Structure 1
Amino acid sequence: MADQHLHVFVTVAEMENFSRAAEQLHMTQPAVSQYIRLLEQTVGARLLDRSNKYVRLTKAGEIVYHHAKEIIGLHTRMQNLVDDLSNKASGNLAIGASYTFGEYVLPHIIAELKRKYPEIHPMITIGNTKEIAEKVSGRLLDVGIVEGEVRQPQLRLEPFADDAMFIISSTRGRWAQQGEVTVQDLQSKTWIVREAGSGTREAADNLFAAFQMVPMHVLEFGSTQIIKEAVEAGLGVTLLSKWTIRKELALGSLCTVKVRGTPYIRKFSLIRQETPFYTKAMELFCELTVQHMASLDQQGGNGSGHSDEDI
């Protein structure tokens, strides 16, 4: 295990309570307090502000916490790589994914991973593309799956699947029964988009640029689910991945809008640290992810028995 003092400190910081941390670590509270005191003496700074109600990180504590997470992660990966030389794939695997892939595709891959490799223990983090890339870069995640551009030289980017994105409207709107819509029609509508840093927002901005269009009204939401609800309620239109709208299309609550130049195609990409060493668990997960998407593509693109033309 990585340095026990750092492990205890990270646990206290995350639980924000000495008693809960002691319970989590299967230690006594005085023992936990002693570890923290010794670490503070070693670092030469107070790391935690303590009161009867809370435990909070000091500025120095924030620095130590960030690097302690990275050190613990590096130690774990080192041990996993050594274990891989003689053992079958096992251990923790920290996986990050941006919202579209993480919420609508990744659960099926994780279920398959657990069936095939029960000794691999995935831990999932969902965020926008920018957040996931930063966590992989900072070694807080082993591997990430994103749908936006990543321009960090220390990361290895591996595109592995296309993602078709469609302009979406409520079935109660006039566009539900209309033929092809013009760019001028699109410009006059309220557009509901994700926040900056999201791969879905980046795709919408790229589409606007390709159409040489500046929407007259824009609403920004931080959740794909809220965007779908807003579009269904008739607040406006949006650009979403086919993966996010399958149920709504089947139920008839949302519809695609026919526009020349759509669907907009982007890439799903795996991101990892640029290093010659990857754990067996990470390699197997990446292989399984690529195979899963290739299998769905052979089935018709969405794994539901419908072809992309149906979408």
Structure 2
Amino acid sequence: MKYTLRQLEIFLAAAHHQSISKAAQELAMSQSAASESLRTLEAQFDLQLFDRAGKSLRLNDLGKQLRVRAEKLIDHARELESGFQQHSDIGRLTIGATLSIGNYLTIPLIAEFMKQHPSADIQLDVANTSSIVAKVRNFDLDIGLIEGERHEPDLDVIPWQEDHLVVFCNADHPLAQKGMMTEEDILNASWILREPGSGTRQTFDWAMHTVLSQLTIALELQHTEAIKRAVEANLGIGCLSALTLSDAFRRGNLVPLDVPGHNFRRFLYFILHKEKYRSAGISQWIDHCRRFQGHINELGSG
């Protein structure tokens, strides 16, 4: 065999960081050794995997093709190594979650998973849907948990659980006593919403598609807590996942509003790259999340 697994690890780390120095740091080796290993790999097969501009590396088309196959091979090798060592068969698992899922569901999910698999090495990345999708597509994450449907040719999008958004206002808002919004109320309201690119915003836009162009959007904020604080300050009407609102509704400082004629139901999804090796860790994480349905329903109806 003309290549080593270490060479493939260096190749993949360099592809991830687009920097040989950062790749070397991740792999706890000298920059010169990492650079020499990568040059040797390319020379052995008389090919070029990166376009180089100074200290920056960028995968070329051939590098992108081979990266997918190298990722699968390294995943297989790591699982085999775990079996040889007779440790947990979970190993390292990098999980991405959108903001609502990451801030309100993923931590208890991981805590329970770690009780069952104490040797597992779990890494969590919380960002909006567009960011998580990009990182899964780029093999920076093993699996993503997202809100809202995405159609990506490189990704498997697997339904997980049902969720729904809730429109809400300050407890002192005139609509709070009414408990609902008419079409006139919808058009007259100042809306405080998640930013474009988030799954929550995608669902809201679809639910309101018949009047979307007529809405007054006062603020677009990236964080759910910021939206809740803005609504508490009576700056407008909000719309977020039920998962994020149960505590505020119990305290009474925010009030849910019914919006007849608009469907705010959606699914939460798992996303994986189609070429990603489905390790035992990934499979067990998906099964674990599916068993968590009862807790999700409890949060959403709180």
Task: State the TM-score bracket (shorter-chain normalisation).
Answer: 0.7 to 0.9
Equivalent residues in 2 for 1:238-277 (5 A)? 238-261=238-261, 264-274=264-274
Equivalent residue in structure 1 for 2:54, among 49, 60, 70:
49
Q: Secondary structure at the match of 1:250?
A: helix
Equivalent residues in 2 for 1:1-311 (5 A)? 2-4=5-7, 7=10, 10=13, 14=17, 18=21, 25-28=27-30, 31=33, 34=36, 43=48, 47=52, 49=54, 57=56, 60=58, 73-82=71-80, 88-209=88-209, 214-261=214-261, 264-274=264-274, 278-297=278-297, 301-302=298-299, 308=301, 311=302
CA contact (8 A) 2:82 2:91 kept: no
| Whole-angstrom CA distance in 2 between matches of 1:257 and 1:166 | 7
Structure 2: segments with no counterpart, 5+ residues: none
Code of the residue aligned with 2:182 in structure 1: it is: T
When structure 1 is superposed on structure 2, of 111-120 and 246-255 the one drifting more is 246-255
- How far is 1:202 from its partner? 0.7
| Whole-angstrom CA distance in 2 between matches of 1:132 and 1:67 | 21
Code of the residue aligned with 1:76 in structure 2: it is: I
Q: Secondary structure at the match of 2:74?
A: helix
| Whole-angstrom CA distance in 2 between matches of 1:202 and 1:172 | 28
| Whole-angstrom CA distance in 1 between matches of 2:32 and 2:135 | 33
Deviations 1:51-90 (A, max 9, x none): xxxxxx25x4798997897566434322245457775422
Q: State TM-score, norm by structure 2.
A: 0.79
| Whole-angstrom CA distance in 2 between matches of 1:150 and 1:44 | 30
Code of the residue aligned with 2:75 in structure 1: it is: R
- How far is 1:147 from its partner? 1.2
| Whole-angstrom CA distance in 2 between matches of 1:13 and 1:137 | 12
CA contact (8 A) 2:194 2:201 kept: yes
Code of the residue aligned with 2:10 in structure 1: it is: H
Structure 1: segments with no counterpart, 5+ residues: 51-56
CA contact (8 A) 2:146 2:269 kept: yes
CA RMSD of aligned residues (A): 3.6
Structure 1 residues 295 and 64: CA distance shift in structure 2, 3 A: same
When structure 1 is superposed on structure 2, of 202-211 and 271-280 the one drifting more is 271-280
Q: Secondary structure at the match of 1:200?
A: helix
Identity over aligned residues, as a percent?
A: 24
Structure 1 residues 181 and 47: CA distance shift in structure 2, 3 A: same
| Whole-angstrom CA distance in 1 between matches of 2:66 and 2:125 | 19
CA contact (8 A) 1:9 1:36 kept: no
- How far is 1:283 from its partner? 0.7
